[in-house]
Amino acid sequence: MIDIQQIRDHSDEVIKRLRVRNMDAAELVNSLKILDETKRQLQKKLDDTLAEANALAKQIGVLFKAGKGADAESLKEKSAMLKKLAKELQEQLDDTNKNFQEFIVRLPNLPHPSVPAGKSDADNEVVQEAGKVKKADEGALSHWDLAKKYDIIDFERGTKITGAGFPVYKGLGARIQRALITFFLDEALIAGYTEYQPPLLVNEDSAFGTGQLPDKDGQMYHVPSDNLYLIPTSEVPITNLFRDTILQEDELPVKCTAYSVCFRREAGSYGKDVRGLNRLHQFDKVEIVQVTKPELSYKALDEMVAHVSVLLKKLELPYRITRLCGGDLGFAAALTYDMEVWSAAQGRWLEVSSISNFEAYQSNRLRLRYKTSEGKNRLAHTLNGSALALPRILAALLENNQCEEGIYIPKALQAYTGFRYIQ
RNA sequence: GGAGAGGUGGCCGAGUGGUCGAAGGCGCACGCCUGGAAAGCGUGUAUCCGUCACAAGCGGAUCAAGGGUUCGAAUCCCUUUCUCUCCGCCA
């Protein structure tokens, strides 16, 4: 969440920057200012009352010790009054805090100055395009047709045993999945990331910590009997490793990578966008996460974009990088680059990675800080990105690499698959 | 799932109603000492909120979490939660 200090000091600036998200935050910001003021006044009154009560209790203690219990009686009465007052003030303060909290979590992160205005993904700014975008040959097959042709993904039986959006990978399909995971993890290790294997279920605190709750409640699978959520990305458990943590300055940057299965309900999705591997309820992803000093977070963002670019180059896939516009920017992100690969048979770009700098927005919620060399605690910056999400990579590999021999496996991946073609 | 024990500061560990944010130790930081180091000695060493200059100082809160008893609770009571031990079950 946004630091209240920013609203206290620069509320106009906050409102102005949120306009890039097509949000009119004036009313919300104003309410927050009032609530913040009320909160502080109540806090002051409460503290003063408690201070008086504390002093009184000490006095009574001294009297009792001196054997003057009788003199303490009148003080006890006064103390009872103060206590009653304190309780009332506490209740008011709790209410105000609750309101304040409800309001402040509704404010998304402030977009970075470079974020273009815009309403939808159509307004995203293409910052780079690399690799040759192939025109699909006559008779080129979509990946779902290719998957069937080579018998590597069984969508129908996935639907039978679970439901739509839960494909079954088979034979070379399963093996290429495994190869991709290992390839991505190895590349992350070389880039200095530490590998983790997190739980796939998280509790409410964690879901709140990274902003899935309360914002994207319906997007996660929920296990009511234990009140746990299936992770939509390993960003959730990994970033939450650092919840309520004060790191030492020399521990930064923290770089983590994790492979995990991800689960998304994708309620409301339909149409051709969800065909085949385009949008699934369960999929595999390797994630990279960084925790950095504030002044270095944009350098880290560039580094992460470069890392993913290398992966795509090694996979010989045509890709482009877009900078998300205000309307498409995620709630907690200040700046996001999407990485998209070209899907030859579908003739469109598929998002395979989303790399974001959350600045201090997540850490504020997570209470993730670091101690500076001066001994002061500051909020760290958090970043994450997919490196990479598997299904659309596989879709692109199938569609772009179909040839007479079958499906060509890029050289870098052959070391992992052990085969050169899917035939 | 059943029975029992327990959750105190970065760690270990005292503390069963009063001046305890908390003894002692370890660790860490700084200083003295030293040619340098070790040892030794000394000092310091949590977090959040408010006031304020995001200083000092002052005030408040925090001994798993929440509630209660009391003038006063780390200490007593209740609830929740987590950990450990034994038993059961089990990849």
pLDDT in tens, A288-316: 999 999 999 999 999 999 999 999 999 99
As a rounded value in angstroms, the CA-to-C1' distance for A198 and B18 is: 48
Q: How many residues does chain A have?
A: 423
| Rg of the Cα atoms in chain A | 27
Assess whether A374 (CB) lies less than 7 A from strand B.
no
CA of A267 to C1' of B67 (A): 40
Shared domain for A306 and A373, answered yes or no, is yes
Q: Using the C1' atom of nucleotide B18, identify the protein residue whose alpha carbon is closest.
A: A61
Q: Assess if residue A203 is contained within a domain.
A: yes
List the one residue out of A222, A193, A243, A270 whose CA is nearest residue A366: A243
Among A77-81, A158-162, A254-258, A328-332, the least confident range: A77-81
Determine, yes or no, domain membership for A290.
Answer: yes
Q: Let me know whether A330 and A183 are in one domain.
A: yes
On whether both A290 and A319 belong to a single domain, the answer is yes
CA A5 to C1' B48 (Å) is 15
Q: Is residue A109 part of a domain?
A: no
In angstroms, the CA of A75 and the C1' of B66 are apart by: 30
How far apart are the two ends of chain A, measured CA to CA in Å? 51
Same domain, A133 and A33: no
- Asked if residue A112 is part of any domain, the answer here is no
Asked if the structure places residue A176 within a domain, the reply is yes
Domain at A154, CATH number: 3.30.930.10
Q: Are residues A72 and A191 in the same domain?
A: no
Strand B reaches within 7 A of the A83 CB:
yes
Number of domains chain A contains: 2
* Global confidence as pTM: 0.91
A83-127: pLDDT as tens digits: 888 888 988 998 898 899 889 988 999 999 999 999 999 999 999
Taking the C1' atom of every nucleotide in all shown strands and the CA of A80, the nearest one is B71
- As a rounded value in angstroms, the CA-to-C1' distance for A170 and B78 is 56
Residues A21 and A94 in one domain: yes
Q: Is the CB of A33 under 7 A from strand B?
A: no
Q: Which of A296, A201, A312, A307 is nearest to A257 (CA)?
A: A307
CB neighbours of A225 closer than 8 A, spacing ≥ 6? none
- Asked if residue A128 and residue A86 are part of one domain, the reply reads no
A319 shares a domain with A176: yes
Residues A353 and A209 reside in one and the same domain: yes
Q: What is the rounded CA–CA span in Å between residue A414 and residue A166?
A: 26
- Chain B bases having any atom below 7 Å from a protein CB: 18-19, 47-51, 54, 59-61, 71-72
Indicate whether A222 and A338 sit together in one domain: yes
Q: What band does A176 get if pLDDT is binned at 50, 70 and 90?
A: very high
Q: What kind and span of H or E run contains A305?
A: helix A297-314
Within a domain: A274: yes
Sheet holding A368-371, edge to edge: A245-248, A368-371, A377-379
Query: Could you tell me if A224 and A306 lie in one domain?
Result: yes
- Cβ atoms A78, A53 nearer than 8 A: no
Contact yes or no for A39/A100 (Cβ under 8 A): yes
| C-alpha span between A175 and A177 (Å, rounded) | 5
Nucleic strand B near CB of residue A69 (< 7 Å): no
Residue A114 lies in a domain: no
Q: Across the strands, what pairs with A355?
A: A337
A86: which nucleotide lies closest, measuring CA to C1'? B60
How far apart CA A250 and CA A284 sit, in angstroms, is 33
**Does one domain contain both A147 and A265?**
yes
Q: Does the structure show a pLDDT above 90 at A181?
A: yes
Bridge partners of A288? Answer: A257, A385
Domain of A180 in residue numbering reads as: 121-422
A58 Cβ nearer than 7 Å to chain B strand: yes
Q: Of A195-199, A268-272, A337-341, which range is least confident?
A: A268-272
Query: Residues A214, A219, A223, CA angle at the centre, nearest 5°?
Result: 85
CA of A91 to C1' of B18 (A): 27
ipTM of the complex: 0.86
